């Protein structure tokens, strides 16, 4: 009798499946230090093959974890030896571009950077950008509702998607490839899958929304000495650069110092805050004058203690390189714990004081806190360097103070396995129960990325008959 893996190989061909010892050569995450321990990797070449493969996995009750570039930072692609990883790596490419309607149809495995570059070559802009752009995929960006450095102006991934094609757990293909900006015909089904982290369906294609490429871009790095000044700077620049402010990235001195440790610093460390300010527009000379005027105005009222304006593309890249030098910063912190939270901007200084106090108490002054983020949209990234095996203590120091400030334990990266226990801090029991009901409706046998976002107890609690959800996968693979 054929095994499940033989059945998968029969529909996907030998290049469509990686099994046995070859699986251990596959990376478990984007850094690749750990290797995959999944049962097998399958690599469908098109939507029909995704559908056929899921039908087989569904028949056997075999867990399936969708994988893009593996750059998600919340263990959303973790897979145990009972699990099949479904990689979208062979489904990469741009099918079509409509420069007038400003849309593009893109396969889910396409790297984000490929989409950015191809659109720029046509005078168009795909308005999502983040540090992992070379490795992360459009499918992963959709599944995590990615954010990044341009949310302030363009919104999150949810705002860049007009239509989706998704394959459900039982292999059913849902084509909802809407091209229209306005379409109020019933439920907006794509929204269910955006941010669902591979737990409700596998994204195979998307209709993406595009914008005209900006003609001008002005970038500066400015320093400020108090959080009050940062707040006022944000309000003033938002007003003076009305509608064109596209980036407001704040680095606390704790981050900046480490980020420039091995390279020249355009502004010396020692100020309390460093802010990368960027605007985009359509008229080179006029926009540069408006940008300079806005910076002069905030300097004159004492909000800025130092400033450097990029006069060329390479100077702009050098400023952005500091903000994106995350790996170098992380490398200097020893055992590292990474966080991505959001909360009202005004609450940030008090929140960080409480986090710092908690860490001091827990680790006797030996923990280090490094902070940076997309402050314009209330998003902080926290790096904590502390002793090994202190995950729960560090998480508690970072997450608990969010509760009374109505913050979120995940601003951008999602929940995965990493933050699952903390979901109730940001979502109430009725919301979690509704999530579980949706999951049951779309994936009644719980084969799609099981255990991510929701606990099995959440699913069981939502079921009138939970037996189908709690059954173990078949051992016939
Ligand atoms: C250096 C660095 C910087 C980053 N900066 C940011 C940032 O600024 N903003 C931000 O939001 N994120 C950031 N991230 C996190 C990460 O890049 C994003 O979450 C990204 O969207 C993940 O895409 P991926 O293709 O790597 O997905 P993966 O890591 O492969 O998967 C992520 C999740 O999506 C699911 N999934 C993947 N593909 C599909 C699919 N086709 N259908 C259904 N489910 C799928 C997976 O099962 C998993 O749950 C950063 C990561 C790194 C390493």
pLDDT at 412: 94
Q: How far is the CA of 72 from the centre of ligand 1 (A)?
A: 4
> What are the pLDDT digits (tens) for 306-329?
999 999 999 999 999 999 999 999
Burial pattern 448-466, b for ≥16 Cβ within 10 A else e, equals bbbbbbbeeebbeebbeeb
Segment 150-179 mean pLDDT: 97
> Using a 6 Å CB cutoff, which residues line ligand 1?
30, 65-73, 76-77, 88, 108, 130-132, 136-137, 139-141, 143-144, 146-148, 197-198, 202-203, 326, 412-413, 416, 449, 452
Segment 448-473 mean pLDDT: 75
| Atom in ligand 1 nearest the alpha carbon of residue 88 | 41
296 and 345 housed in the same domain: no
Segment 189-217 mean pLDDT: 97
Q: Whose alpha carbon is nearest atom 16 of ligand 1? A: 72
User: pLDDT exceeding 70 applies to what percent of the chain?
Assistant: 97
Please say if the pLDDT value at position 263 is more than 90: no
Of 212, 236, 259, the one marking the end of a domain is 212
Domain with 246 in it: what CATH number? 3.30.70.2190
235 and 183 housed in the same domain: no
Domain annotation covers residue 435: no
> What are the pLDDT digits (tens) for 104-148?
999 999 999 999 999 999 999 999 999 999 999 999 999 999 999
Find the domain containing 348 and state its range. 333-415
pLDDT at 464: 57
> What are the pLDDT digits (tens) for 411-425?
999 999 999 999 999
The chain-wide mean pLDDT, for the chain, equals: 94
Site of tokens 């069981």: 460
Please say if the pLDDT value at position 470 is more than 60: no
Residue 209 to residue 103: CA distance in whole angstroms: 5
Domain with 188 in it: what CATH number? 3.30.465.10
Q: How far is the CA of 212 from the centre of ligand 1 (A)?
A: 25
Domain with 371 in it: what CATH number? 3.30.70.2740
226 and 321 housed in the same domain: yes
Please say if the pLDDT value at position 465 is more than 60: no
């Amino acid at each position: 009798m054929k095994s499940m893996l033989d059945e998968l190989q029969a529909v996907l061909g030998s290049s469509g499946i990686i099994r046995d010892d070859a699986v251990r050569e596959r990376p478990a995450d984007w850094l690749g230090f750990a290797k995959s321990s999944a049962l097998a990797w399958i690599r469908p070449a098109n939507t029909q093959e995704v559908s056929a493969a899921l039908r087989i996995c569904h028949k056997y009750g075999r867990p399936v974890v969708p994988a893009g570039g593996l750059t998600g930072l919340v263990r959303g692609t973790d897979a145990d030896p009972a699990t099949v990883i479904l990689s979208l790596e062979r489904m990469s490419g741009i099918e079509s571009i409509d420069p007038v309607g400003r849309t593009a149809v893109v396969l889910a495995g396409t790297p984000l950077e490929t989409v950015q570059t191809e659109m720029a070559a046509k005078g168009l802009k795909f308005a999502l950008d983040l540090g992992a752009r070379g490795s992360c995929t459009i499918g992963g960006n959709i599944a995590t509702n990615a954010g990044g450095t341009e949310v302030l102006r363009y919104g999150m991934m949810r705002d860049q998607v007009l239509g989706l094609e998704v394959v459900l757990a039982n292999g059913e293909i849902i084509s909802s490839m809407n091209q229209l900006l306005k379409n109020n015909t019933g439920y907006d089904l794509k929204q269910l899958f955006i941010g669902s982290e591979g737990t409700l369906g596998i994204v195979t294609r998307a209709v993406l929304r595009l914008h005209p490429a900006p003609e001008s871009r002005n970038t500066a790095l400015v320093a400020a000495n108090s959080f009050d000044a940062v707040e006022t700077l944000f309000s003033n620049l938002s007003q003076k650069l009305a509608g064109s402010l596209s980036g407001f990235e704040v680095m606390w001195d704790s981050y900046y110092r480490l980020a420039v440790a091995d390279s020249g610093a355009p502004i010396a460390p020692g100020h309390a805050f460093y802010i990368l300010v960027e605007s985009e527009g359509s008229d080179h000379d006029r926009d540069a004058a408006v940008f300079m005027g806005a910076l002069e105005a905030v300097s004159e009222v004492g909000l800025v203690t130092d400033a450097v304006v990029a006069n060329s593309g390479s100077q702009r890249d050098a400023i952005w390189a500091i903000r994106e030098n995350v790996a170098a910063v992380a490398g200097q912190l020893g055992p590292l714990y990474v966080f991505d939270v959001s909360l009202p901007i005004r609450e940030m200084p008090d929140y960080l004081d409480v986090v710092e106090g908690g860490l001091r108490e827990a680790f006797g002054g030996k923990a280090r806190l490094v902070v940076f983020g997309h402050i314009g949209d209330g998003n902080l990234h926290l790096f904590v360097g502390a002793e090994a095996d202190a995950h729960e203590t560090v998480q508690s120091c970072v997450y608990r103070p969010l509760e009374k400030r109505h913050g979120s334990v995940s601003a951008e990266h999602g929940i995965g396995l990493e933050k699952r226990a903390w979901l109730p801090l940001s979502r109430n029991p009725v919301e979690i129960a509704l999530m579980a009901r949706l999951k049951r409706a779309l994936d009644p046998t719980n084969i799609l990325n099981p255990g991510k976002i929701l606990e099995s107890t959440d699913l069981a609690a939502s079921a009138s008959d939970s037996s189908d959800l709690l059954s173990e996968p078949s051992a016939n693979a």
